[in-house]
Structure 1
Amino acid sequence: MDMKRLVGKNFARLRQEKGLTQEQVEERSGFSQQYLSGLERGHRNPTVVTLYELAQALETTPVEFLKPFSLD
């Protein structure tokens, strides 16, 4: 399983479920929109601290980024 892609897909899903744009998450988290875009595309390898901070911005837990689902 490609963990970068899994985290990116989960991040995008959670962000959209909250009705937030990447720019709004940028304001909440301090991570640039470019970084967030790369994360969603599976091009970034976030640290545990990054996952924690993004979870705080989305009002969820870091575990949500690691939940499996079909990547097809």
Structure 2
Amino acid sequence: MDIRQLFARNLRAAREVKGLSQEALAYEAGLDRTYISSLERGRYYASLKAIERIARVLELDPAELLRKDEASARSQ
């Protein structure tokens, strides 16, 4: 799994845990909803500034959005 796919998976999971829609996350982060959607589908690489904004809204350390879990680490 490349870093873009890893970020996409972690972003979606964190957003769902917080109970936020893509639209709500985008609004709170000052980003466009279609950008959030594209990030979650792994279509774009997120900028560091976007990662920072998203992490702030999700109340996470930005590194959490790039962290591998045990299952994905073993499969590589």
TM-score (norm 2): 0.85
Aligned counterpart, 1:34: 34
Aligned counterpart, 2:55: 55
For the 8 Å contact 2:55–2:61, the answer to whether it is kept is yes
| Structure ranking higher in helix proportion | 2
Aligned counterpart, 1:22: 22
**Gap runs ≥5 in structure 1:** none
Alignment deviations for residues 4-50 of structure 1 (CA, whole Å, 9 cap, x no partner): 11001100000000011001101101111100000000111012121
Determine the C-alpha separation between the residues in 2 that align with 1:23 and 1:48: 20
Q: Percent identity?
A: 34
State the superposition RMSD in angstroms. 1.4
Aligned counterpart, 1:13: 13
**Gap runs ≥5 in structure 2:** none
Q: Which has the larger radius of gyration?
A: 2
Q: How many residues align?
A: 71
Moved over 4 A (4+): none
